[in-house]
């Protein structure tokens, strides 16, 4: 039978250190949690720091052949210029555990958290932030890098900038500072560029990108120029600015495009308040008779993945879906979400879009930043009492697709629910 996905397609889950490891004590997030500035504490998180072998075993048993993880800069460099040998040894064991199970590592070098010492100097706005990051990346590349092909330098600059400097619900808790948000995005892209060069200098043919959050953005009423303008501005700020900044002599300084896709936003112009330029989200039902939302209020809209992949294809690079998932405890909805997004992905591939892999956010429920443990993104549920990982039905479906390379039939998707 013909396959929908090639044999070498990457199938896996994505995670981030602070969300799963536990006791990330030298990071800015830990400091903010301890100071009571965040509504939830990460604490022991999912104890992945100790349980990583068991977790990778779970992934392997369910058909994964890849895994996205982040290395915690705050652990590796707990004080400026002081690199922690034990932390390096730990991640060497983690990477060996992945390889032993045939899981291709996709390594993020910075996923939202920063070392506390850097945050105290201004985080990404500190004058030496980029230089410091490049030095950390060089240490990692030399100590751990051989054999790692896929690299993500930073995660979602626009999301970090928005939460940290506009809505102000994440460290460093600045509100309404669009100017600083724009500077942070520019600095994170500059950090990406220097990390890109460092990785290419030290390693043989690495594939380097940054993970980009790409919602599908459209105007509420395409007939109203104000809605169109608000949507275009929001799209420029959230999606295109990073691709524009990362260009060098007309070409993107990327080896592939890393797409994090969750949702669409339908934008309506509003002439007042903070929404002035970017409009407000329109949640009316008239954009399709059955709009579905997850527990964070994000719309489930698989067509947006297809469109986003087609749009990214214009950059002329291979694409990796580095995050896609849903926060829900409704198993039927998770199955629907997964099978429809995989169909969207297969459709883009069939039309010639070069997508190399799909990484589900996430392996098991974890610490969802300011939402703590209240959002359920996992292929497996996490028992809050004993931390047991309990595979949800969607995990079975994921395993079948990954093993066979074939899309689920409609009745199969229904059965798994």
Q: HSE, CB side, 13 Å, CA atoms: give it for residue 4.
A: 18
Place of tokens 């879906």: 321
Closer Cβ to ligand BGC, 80 or 297, answer by number:
297
Closer Cβ to ligand BGC, 185 or 220, answer by number:
185
Closer Cβ to ligand BGC, 181 or 220, answer by number:
181
| Pair of tokens at residue 291 | 């709009």
**CB 318 → ligand BGC: shortest distance, Å?**
20
Indicate the pairing of strand 257-260 with strand 319-323: parallel
**CB 360 → ligand BGC: shortest distance, Å?**
11
**Size of the chain, expressed as the number of residues it contains:** 417
**CB 250 → ligand BGC: shortest distance, Å?**
29
| Pair of tokens at residue 336 | 């629907």
- C-alpha 119/C-alpha 81 separation (Å) is 15
Residue nearest to ligand BGC as judged by C-beta position: 16
- C-alpha 38/C-alpha 369 separation (Å) is 9
Kindly name the residue from 104, 156, 218, 368 that is annotated as catalytic: 156
Whole-Å CA distances, 169 to 32, 33, 91, 327, 375: 11, 12, 30, 19, 16
| Pair of tokens at residue 51 | 């349980």
Binding site for ligand BGC (CB under 6 A): 16, 155-156, 159, 213, 260, 323, 361, 368, 377
- C-alpha 131/C-alpha 246 separation (Å) is 17
| Pair of tokens at residue 117 | 């010492």
Closer Cβ to ligand BGC, 298 or 404, answer by number:
298
Contact 328, 294 (CB under 8 A): yes
**CB 42 → ligand BGC: shortest distance, Å?**
12
Closer Cβ to ligand BGC, 256 or 361, answer by number:
361
Which are the contacts of 91, defined by CB distance < 8 A and separation ≥ 6? 71, 76, 144
**CB 204 → ligand BGC: shortest distance, Å?**
28
Indicate the pairing of strand 247-248 with strand 216-219: unpaired
Closer Cβ to ligand BGC, 220 or 320, answer by number:
320
| Residue 156 annotated as catalytic | yes
**CB 371 → ligand BGC: shortest distance, Å?**
8
Contact 64, 13 (CB under 8 A): yes
| Pair of tokens at residue 205 | 């043919």
Catalytic residue numbers? 156
């Amino acid at each position: 039978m013909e396959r929908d996905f090639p044999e070498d397609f990457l199938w896996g889950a994505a995670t981030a250190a602070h969300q799963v490891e536990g006791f990330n004590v030298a990071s800015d997030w830990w400091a903010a949690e301890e100071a009571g500035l965040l509504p939830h504490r990460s604490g022991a998180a999912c104890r992945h720091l100790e349980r990583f072998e068991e977790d990778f075993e779970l992934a392997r048993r369910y058909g994964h052949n890849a895994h996205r993880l982040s290395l915690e800069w705050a652990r590796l460099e707990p004080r400026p210029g002081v690199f922690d040998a034990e932390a390096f040894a730990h991640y060497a064991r983690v990477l060996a555990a992945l390889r032993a199970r045939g899981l291709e590592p996709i390594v993020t070098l910075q996923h939202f958290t920063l070392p506390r010492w850097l945050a105290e100097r201004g985080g990404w706005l500190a004058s030496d932030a980029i230089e410091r990051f490049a030095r950390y990346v060089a240490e990692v590349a030399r100590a751990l890098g051989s054999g790692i092909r896929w690299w993500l330098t930073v995660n979602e600059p626009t999301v970090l900038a928005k939460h940290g400097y506009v809505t102000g619900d994440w460290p460093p808790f600045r509100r309404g500072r669009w100017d600083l948000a724009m500077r942070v995005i520019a600095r994170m892209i500059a950090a990406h560029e220097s990390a890109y060069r460092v990785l290419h200098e030290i390693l043989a043919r690495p594939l380097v990108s940054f993970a980009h959050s790409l919602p599908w953005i459209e105007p509420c009423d395409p007939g109203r120029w104000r809605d169109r303008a608000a949507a275009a501005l929001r799209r420029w700020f959230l999606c295109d600015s990073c691709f524009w900044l990362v260009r060098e002599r007309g070409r993107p300084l990327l080896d592939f495009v890393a797409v994090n896709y969750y949702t669409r936003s339908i934008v309506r112009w509003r002439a007042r308040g903070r929404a002035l330029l970017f409009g407000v989200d329109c949640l009316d039902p008239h954009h399709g008779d059955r709009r579905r939302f997850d527990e964070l209020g994000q719309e489930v809209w698989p067509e947006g993945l297809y469109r986003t992949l087609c749009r990214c294809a214009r950059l002329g690079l291979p694409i990796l879906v580095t995050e896609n998932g849903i926060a829900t405890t409704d198993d039927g909805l998770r199955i629907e979400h997964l099978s429809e997004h995989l169909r969207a992905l297969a459709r883009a591939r069939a039309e010639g879009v070069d997508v190399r892999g799909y990484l589900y956010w996430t392996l098991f429920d974890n610490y969802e930043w300011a939402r703590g443990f209240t959002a359920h993104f996992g292929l497996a549920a996490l028992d809050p009492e004993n931390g047991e990982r309990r595979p949800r039905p969607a995990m079975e479906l994921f395993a079948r697709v990954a093993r066979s390379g074939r899309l689920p039939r409609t009745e199969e998707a229904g059965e798994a629910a």
